[in-house]
Amino acid sequence: MSRELRVGLHAAIVAVTGEQPRVLTVPDPAGDLPTALPFGPLDPDQHRTLELGLRAWVQEQTGMELAYVEQLYTFGDRDRASSDADGARVLAVAYLALVRERQLAEERGAWESVYAVLPWEDRREGEPNVLRDHIRPRLGAWVREGADTATRRLRRGRVDITFGSDSAGWDSERVLDRFELLYEAGLVAEAYRDRAGSTRTQPDPGFDEPLALDHRRILATALGRLRGKLKYRPLVFELLPETFTLLRLQRTVEALVGVRLHKQNFRRLVERGRLVEGTGRLESATGGRPAELFRFRREVLHERPAPGVGLPGLPPKRSRRA
C-alpha cells in the first residue's frame, strides 16, 4: 500500500550584515536539533498557492513579511529526513528569500551565520582550516576506500571538481555538489542520521553543525543559486539599504560568493553596467576619507535582460589534493 504524500514549505531567508551572510533560523519544533529553517505544511484549504502558504508560515513563526521570494527546488528523497512521524512521505518545496536583517523576538527566531553551517564555503581569507585540516584528509581516505581502481578514479575526479585541486579551480557555485559529496562520503551528521545502523564512523563535530531535517541541503541549494544569479540579476541590492558606498556593495557581494574581488575590476564592472548612480552625498563614517553614496538604478531592469553585477575573474587558488 502506498504511503500518504504531503507537501512541506521551507524558507531559506538570507541577509548580509557586517560582511557576514546570515540565515534566519527558528527553534526546531521536533526538538531534535537547536534550529531549523522556517517551515510548515501546505494547507490546501487555506493556502491558495505554495508561495502564499510559505509567506503565511514565515509570518506566523517569525512575524516577518517577505519581499523577494523565489522557488528553489523540490526535494523528495525517501531516506533524507523526508517523512513525518506517522510515516507519510513529505515533498519539501524550498524557497529563497532575500531581506535586510531585522531584530526579532528571541523566541521567534535568530540570525545564524551561513558559514557557521557551511564553513568550507568561505574562502575570503584563503582556504579555510576546516577544509584543509579536516575535510580534505577525510575525503582522501574516502577515495582510497574505493573498491577498485575505477571507483577510486571516479571518486578522485569528483573530489577535484567539487572541492578544487591543482588542476581544477574552486567553483563557488558548486555549493550543493560539495554538500552532497560530503553526504555521500558519510562526513556530515545528516548522513549518519539517515543511515541508521550504518557502520560508518560518526562525523567529526569539529566542522559539522547541522540544521534540522534536510535544511542544510536546502541552504546549500539557496547559496549556490544566489551565487550564480548575482552574475545576471541585481539581487544584491535586495540586501542593501537605499543608499550605500561602492565598498559596501563590494563587501556584500564578497560575503555571498565567499571570495575576495579585485577592487578596481569590480568597480569597472559596476560602472560599465550602469547599475548604480551617485547621490551627491557622502558617507563620513568610513574610517577614512568620506565616500560617495550611491543608489541602485532601477531603470537598468528595462535597459537590458541580464543586469547582474558580474564577478571579476580571479585566478584559481592553488590547493592541496585530498
Is residue 168 very low, low, confident or very high in pLDDT (cuts 50, 70, 90)? confident
Mean local confidence (pLDDT), 227-253: 94
pLDDT of residue 19: 93
Q: What is the pTM of this model?
A: 0.89
Q: Can you give the three-state secondary structure of the chain, one letter per residue?
A: CCCCEEEEEEEEEEEEECCEEEEEEEECCCCCCCEECCEEECCCCCCCCHHHHHHHHHHHHHCCCCCEEEEEEEECCCCCCCECCCCCEEEEEEEEEECCCCCCCHHHCEEEEHHHHCHHHCCECECCHHHHHHHHHHHHHHHHCCCCHHHHHHHHHHHHHHHCCCCCCCCCCCHHHHHHHHHHCCCCHHHHHHCCCCCCCCCCCCCCCCCCCCHHHHHHHHHHHHHHHCCCCCHHHHHCCCCECHHHHHHHHHHHHCCCCCHHHHHHHHHHCCCEEEEEEEECCCCCCCEEEEEECCCHHHHCCCCCCCCCCCCCCCCCCC
Is residue 130 very low, low, confident or very high in pLDDT (cuts 50, 70, 90)? very high
Q: Which superfamily is assigned to 5-116+214-228 in CATH?
A: Nucleoside Triphosphate Pyrophosphohydrolase (3.90.79.10)
Is the pLDDT score of 59 beyond 90?
yes
pLDDT tens across 188-225, in order?
988 888 876 444 456 665 676 788 889 999 999 999 99
CATH code for the domain defined by 234-303: 1.10.10.10
Mean local confidence (pLDDT), 153-165: 95
pLDDT tens across 265-311, in order?
999 888 888 999 999 999 877 666 788 999 999 898 878 777 887 77
Q: Where are the domains of the chain?
A: 5-116+214-228, 123-194, 234-303
pLDDT of residue 3: 65
